[in-house]
Structure 1
Amino acid sequence: MARLYEPDSIAVSAAHWIDGEIVEAGGASATRLEVVRPSDGKVHAQLPLADADTVDRAVLAARRAAPAWAALKPRERGRLLIRFGELVSAHAEEIGRLESVVSSRVQAEAGPIDVGTAAEYLRFYGEYCDKLEGTITASGREAFSLVAREPHGVVAIITPWNFPVILSTWKVAPALAAGNTVVLKPSEMTPFSMVRIAQLAIEAGIPAGVFNVVQGDGPVTGKALTTHPDVDYVTFTGSSQVGGRIMADIGASGIKPVALELGGKGAQLVFADCGPLDTVADHVTWGVTRNAGQLCYAGSRLVVHEAIADELVERVRTRMLALRPGATWDDATTLAPIISRKQVERMTGIVERALAAGAECLTGGEAFEQEGGQFFAPTMLAGVRPGMEACDEEIFGPVLTVETFADEEEGIALARAGRYGLSASVFSRDIERALAASRRLDAGTVWVNRWGRTAEMMTAPFGGFGRSGFGKEAGRQGIEGFSRQKAIWIDFAKTPDLAHSNDPRA
């Protein structure tokens, strides 16, 4: 392997970004968190934890900036966001290193793919600024009725560690495009890249206070942000458990709208007429090993027709064995490290309990250490069925469960099982079968004859059902969620017609 950069050479700004400037202090408590590199286990920096006072400072900065940003002409706001996207694109290598050095994202993808996608989201929603239209509703000649779209105001954004730049910008971009100001809390494990991106917003001409970043954990910083009385809207991506706690905190502190993009347990439903098995095996393997399976829409359940199961499983196994573990800064790495020892212990426990319950390990099944980094061998578990933890719960690692079926109804029933509903895949060359199965699966996104998103899919909404949350990211729906609708009724009649009013007070 060749190193793409030396990790010790990556200087970071372990600080908050508030009202257009670096804020080093962690607040009155001055608590600091260690940011550990998962590739080698070394501490890269100490992160200041934003307490309630620091969060309040960021929220008030966003509140002060909100009226002028919302009042800006949409096309001018769009030009600023497009310029912002161009600057992010120009700094892709630098931002990618800030991302990959402390995350599970390999530099070969983090710079060109992750940061490139983030820049495209900013440009995409910059072009949307003057296309978020209201409507005129039907009324008689003596009245005029319209529905206007307005920004919520101050938006709190909380994002996870697995794809920090992508998952942050696909919220930040539409929030800003709709006229909101933002306070972002990235994961405390991957905090650096978004501070640099926020600095570029100022270079693009976006006013100070419009885009702020606070650092810290969920219990202190996250809770202070989501329950702040001056935050008007909350959007979160992360685990279903944390999403539930955020809803409870908001409900206890005051009512405000919230959008949650949570966990998943995606089925890859493969019919016997799926086409070339090598192509299907590529998708199935990539669906559970990309980023070492640390993604919410991982295709972690293979539901395959028994006639082709053995052959497909062997092809997937061969591909899993060919993956090469390594540091995120090494150019030949194809199996990323696991973000933390805690995550390794969790997935190890799930696999061990599955084996104790009668599952069969077809390959992998254990964690290992390499040059100080934590890894988990790509794993396939056969003999699992709905009701088993390994089959029902999100593992968030490179672990694929294998279930077989004899007929179409059984296959769809297996793919539908479970409480998650984020994404799924269907493989069949019979378009009628594929479409019929797609309509019957409980998933917010269904891919046919492929797994995973592409850059072009930013035009389509993404979000789940059930335990996978609610609200949509990307597409037109992604920006509509960051606005609220106001009905305005203008009455031209000299004498209002109160007799036909539905208002009981009339």
Structure 2
Amino acid sequence: MAAAFALILEDYRADFPAQLQHMPRAIHILLSACMKESRAVDVFNPDLIALPQGSNFIGGRRVIGRGQAIPVRRPSDGRVYADLDSVDDAQLGEAVEDAQRAYKSSGWAQTDPRGRMRVLRRWADLIEADMETLAPLEALGSTRMIHEIRAWDVSYTAETVRFFAEWADKIGGEVAATTPDKLGLTIHEPYGVVAAIAPWNLPLVMAAWKIAPAIAAGNSIVLKPSEMTPFSIVRLAELAIEAGLPAGIFNIVQGDGRSVGDPLVRRPEVAKVTFTGSTATGAAIMTACAQTGPKPVTLELGGKSPQIIFADAGLDKASAIVARAITLNAGQVCVAGSRLLVQEGVADQVIDCIMTAFAAHKAGPTWASDSTLGPIISEGQLDRIDGIVQRAVADGAQVLTGGSRATAPQDGSFFLPTLLQNAAQHSEAVQGEIFGPVLTVQTFTDEMEAYALANDSAYGLAAGVHTSDLTRALRATRTLEAGTVWVNRYGRSNDFILPTGGFKQSGIGKDLGREAYVANLKTKVALIEF
């Protein structure tokens, strides 16, 4: 019986997270318990994953960095599993110069658009076919669980490449309205060398958001992954060469932000910068681009996203969505729904549902089939999360569930799903991005109070609204100060046409959608007189 229930849950997870958010809570808990009973096995042995020499990718091949070695730990068990060979200053310069040379001489930007499209389609096919290499490599040192990577991350990465491939011949110039004796044209051209800095929380997916539109538009790119999750991205670059991408169009440099990230965005050859990460780092990058350019930037930064549950919502479904939105990737998602605003009168019922959902999670390593709560990326981040929670408690907040580190089979970095009540509106727990599985809960009496609480934040990345009133839902989408508003759901779908990006301190510009492709093109004007 348990094995049968486990198979059913796998079918739901294959379309994650859409199916799980609609599953009745009792069935979800039962199936999760069966998973724990029947599938407590390792999907792969982390000690047997081979890491080829050379963590950088320059000129179409792996290159061993000459910079300072950086120890890389597995957050699931705390073990140092590799020493990252970062680039030195000279190699960083070689990577950027190689990207500029490839942009000018490889013919990639001048290739007919459908030719670029065909290369990118082959690349996407190779990514999907490489599942058994990419998935364990991604799970090995990240916070992403192997079953989630297989069900979503790899295929989503491939689909991102396919989506932007299709834009290669869809954006042209325009003929302007001029006097009859003149011909005015607007012409779109690639920038040249694009510098990208990708985060650690979804390494493959976030890198694809940066790489795919830039390359599809005809640019070359130099990418710096996070030094905490550096390896799976290099495999992507190898597959790109196999697909036919010219050498030098996609280069990867490894290292930390101070020694590699900052000098990368300051290089004079870099014409545009795209970054996903913290608001503080985004501000530093924007400053560097102003000082050395100016050059355009796309920044997807921090979030402190509210989820509003009105009394007329389907409460079981809404509660499951809220719980999932803060425990996905252990809360280490920029759009994590970290503030619950629930209408008085239904708060107790919603809180009970969420606490039950939190209790059903099992912390465990990313390679274990029965893990449902992944690790925190580092001990430093774990200490930071714990500190925020403890300071909130000292300031009068109550921990309804969780509130401490979680135990797991290995000596990894785990934090229990946590529900905080009565945290002060001005407190760090309510206002700051925690980037962990910590949900604050506040109540409201009417609609306008809900929106006022939701908008009382320096961030504006995303928001969720749960209601059966269509008119109210439409008002919410107009009133909430967020780049994305989800109604009766929370989280992105596979609708790549919908751009993503935030307001206020959550960033500038958009990833995904037509907007991301156009952001990698500059506009030239031609005026021809007859």
Work out whether the TM-score is over 0.5. Answer: yes
| 2:392 counterpart residue number | 354
Partner Cα distance (1:111, 1:182) in 2:
27
Partner Cα distance (1:146, 1:480) in 2:
17
Query: Deviation string for 1:461-491 (max 9, x for gaps)?
Result: 0000110011101111110111111111112
| 2:313 counterpart residue number | 274
Query: Deviation string for 1:144-187 (max 9, x for gaps)?
Result: 11111110100001011000000000110110011000111000
Partner Cα distance (2:328, 2:433) in 1:
15
| 1:502 counterpart residue number | none
* Contact 1:385–1:403, Cα closer than 8 Å, also in 2: no
Partner Cα distance (2:80, 2:310) in 1:
47
Candidates 1, 5, 11, aligned match of 2:50? 11
* Contact 2:323–2:357, Cα closer than 8 Å, also in 1: yes
Alignment of 1:232-271 (within 5 A): 232-271=271-310
TM-score by length of 2: 0.91
For 2:141, what is the secondary structure of its paired residue? coil
| 2:63 counterpart residue number | 23
For 2:302, what is the secondary structure of its paired residue? coil
1:132 Cα offset (Å): 1.4
User: Residue 198 in 1 paired to residue 198 in 2?
Assistant: no
Count of aligned pairs between the two proteins: 487
| 1:495 counterpart residue number | none
For 2:406, what is the secondary structure of its paired residue? strand
1:369 Cα offset (Å): 4.3
* Contact 1:93–1:112, Cα closer than 8 Å, also in 2: no
Letter in 2 for 1:55: L
User: Residue 421 in 1 paired to residue 421 in 2?
Assistant: no
* Contact 1:95–1:111, Cα closer than 8 Å, also in 2: no
For 1:17, what is the secondary structure of its paired residue? strand
Structure 2: unaligned runs, 5 residues or longer: 1-39
Partner Cα distance (2:481, 2:217) in 1:
30
Partner Cα distance (1:135, 1:429) in 2:
44
Query: Deviation string for 1:61-89 (max 9, x for gaps)?
Result: 11011131111110000000011000001
User: Residue 310 in 1 paired to residue 348 in 2?
Assistant: yes
User: Residue 137 in 1 paired to residue 176 in 2?
Assistant: yes
Partner Cα distance (1:304, 1:93) in 2:
43
| 1:183 counterpart residue number | 222
Letter in 1 for 2:302: G
| 2:4 counterpart residue number | none
| 1:496 counterpart residue number | none
Query: What is the percent sequence identity of the aligned residues?
Result: 48
Alignment of 1:82-481 (within 5 A): 82-275=121-314, 277-370=315-408, 371-456=410-495, 458-481=496-519
Partner Cα distance (2:160, 2:130) in 1:
15
Letter in 2 for 1:54: Q
For 1:426, what is the secondary structure of its paired residue? strand
Partner Cα distance (1:432, 1:70) in 2:
47
1:435 Cα offset (Å): 0.9
Partner Cα distance (1:147, 1:97) in 2:
46
For 2:323, what is the secondary structure of its paired residue? helix
| 1:64 counterpart residue number | 101
* Contact 2:397–2:424, Cα closer than 8 Å, also in 1: no
| 2:84 counterpart residue number | 47
Partner Cα distance (2:288, 2:89) in 1:
15
For 1:72, what is the secondary structure of its paired residue? coil
For 1:446, what is the secondary structure of its paired residue? strand
* Contact 2:301–2:507, Cα closer than 8 Å, also in 1: yes
Identify the range of structure 1 (430-439 vs 8-17) with the bigger mean alpha-carbon deviation. Answer: 8-17
1:250 Cα offset (Å): 2.2
1:51 Cα offset (Å): 2.1
For 1:354, what is the secondary structure of its paired residue? helix
Letter in 2 for 1:126: A
* Contact 2:363–2:407, Cα closer than 8 Å, also in 1: no
For 1:133, what is the secondary structure of its paired residue? coil
Query: Deviation string for 1:7-29 (max 9, x for gaps)?
Result: 011111351000101111x23xx
Query: Deviation string for 1:426-460 (max 9, x for gaps)?
Result: 1111000011011100100000000001122x110
The structure 1 segments of at least 4 consecutive aligned residues displaced by more than 4 Å after TM superposition are none
Partner Cα distance (2:63, 2:291) in 1:
30
Structure 1: unaligned runs, 5 residues or longer: 493-506
Partner Cα distance (1:440, 1:459) in 2:
23
Letter in 2 for 1:294: Q
Letter in 1 for 2:73: V
Query: Deviation string for 1:175-205 (max 9, x for gaps)?
Result: 0011000111000000011100100001001
Partner Cα distance (1:113, 1:463) in 2:
21
| 2:27 counterpart residue number | none
Partner Cα distance (2:133, 2:86) in 1:
24
* Contact 1:51–1:224, Cα closer than 8 Å, also in 2: no
For 1:373, what is the secondary structure of its paired residue? coil
Partner Cα distance (2:88, 2:195) in 1:
15
Letter in 2 for 1:425: G
Aligned-residue RMSD, C-alpha? 1.0
* Contact 1:235–1:258, Cα closer than 8 Å, also in 2: yes
Letter in 2 for 1:80: V
TM-score by length of 1: 0.95
